[in-house]
Structure 1
Amino acid sequence: MDNAQRTPTPQDLDTLSRQLGRPVRDVVEIGARCVCGNPLVATTAPRLGSGIPFPTTFYLTHPVITAAVSRLEAAGVMTEMTERLSRDSGLAEAYRRAHEAYLQARNEVGARAGIGEVPEIAGVSAGGMPGRVKCLHVLVGHSLAAGPGVNPLGDEALERIAEWWTPDRCYCEGVWDVQGQAPSRDLSRHTRTQGLGEAELAAKRAARQGGHEADPAREEDSK
């Protein structure tokens, strides 16, 4: 997409909030659009306005695609893909390159947004890259934003959801509420961490993980 297509309009932000069921924040670009023009992927700043690092640059927002990818996850596709990475050196190398492409894209997004590098998540991409698969939504969002040939497992997941969603037609009608006001209250867990110091954030992450060491990539599911 060109710069004009990437630039989010007020209508885009309204649509994203309706798609997600909560107000969006820190969206700097639209990563991919439906054939009708509605957003499919939100490109998010690598550091949120609250100061929290956010590694998930390309966030899948369209409810139809999100539900289709969730079906794959429920069917055990992530485990299958991770096992293949350990056996297929060619696939593993392509996935490693996807990881590097994600990091480069995030740096470029940060630069365009005037944020710059975020050292807390340096070297950490998203979705489990480069060694495993832990969130297909991230990989699909990356594939839609980057185009085919960049993320092999994201591309594969897109092929595997063709029964429910394909890029050549619109699936937007009736999928989200278009009447009344867009959601104005954010009930996601990020709102409960705004304004906390690093020690407090680390303690909250540890509590969520049952006492295990905090992993900044776990923030990817809390957009």
Structure 2
Amino acid sequence: MRAQLGRPMRGVVGIAARCVCGNPTVVATEPRLPDGTPFPTFYYLTHPGATAAMSALEATQVMRELSEVLEDDADVAAAYAAAHEAYLSDRAVYGEVPEIEGISAGGMPTRVKCLHALAGHALAAGPGVNPIGDLALERGDWSPQRCTCAQPRGGAA
């Protein structure tokens, strides 16, 4: 993970999703970092290919399009609200942090704000849990089914 991000990881409690080769794709992070900082992003996207794909999507109009889907489709909106609650429930296992109570990530439950967070949640929770995260992964040029890692399994050089 250090090699993926170029810095040490903080507050990681586990690997929430892996590339098909075994390298980390998403980590689960404590809701309060070791230095005391509240950290609402429980599912943190670490895979360079995935993060690049989400950055590329964010640079296009896709966030506006996904926001329109959320606004226009009641079923997607309900599933997105349920994803928000699932996210909060997953994070609560690692402690309650009053400063971030009710705050999940990526704009949930009513906006599309950060595709990295939404894709991370979708990868960690599996298909069908976060509809906007699923759509972002479908529209990106990276796939969790295809390894694009530059390093051998485990991140060793």
Question: Do these two structures clear the TM 0.5 threshold for a shared fold by scoring above it?
Answer: yes
Q: Could you say which residue in structure 1 is the equivalent of 2:49?
A: 64
- In 2: Cα distance, 1:44 partner to 1:78 partner: 25
- In 2: Cα distance, 1:50 partner to 1:149 partner: 35
How far off its partner does 1:80 sit? Answer: 1.6
Q: Could you say which residue in structure 1 is the equivalent of 2:7?
A: 22
Picking from 98, 108, 129, the partner of 1:129 is 108
| 1:165 correspondence with 2:130 | no
Matches within 5 A, 1:41-120: 41-108=26-93, 110=94, 116-120=95-99
TM-score for both structures, normalised by structure 2? 0.93
TM-score for both structures, normalised by structure 1? 0.66
Equivalences, count: 155
Can you give the 5+ residue segments of structure 1 that lack an aligned partner in the other structure? 1-15, 111-115, 180-223
Q: Give runs of ≥4 in structure 1 deviating > 2 Å.
A: none
| 1:144 correspondence with 2:123 | yes
- Of the two, which has the highest radius of gyration? 1
Can you give the 5+ residue segments of structure 2 that lack an aligned partner in the other structure? none
Letter in 1 for 2:3: R
Q: Deviations over 1:61-94 (max 9, x none)?
A: 0111110111111112112211222222111111
| 1:38 correspondence with 2:23 | yes
SS in 2 for 1:25: coil
- In 2: Cα distance, 1:93 partner to 1:168 partner: 28
- In 2: Cα distance, 1:67 partner to 1:178 partner: 21
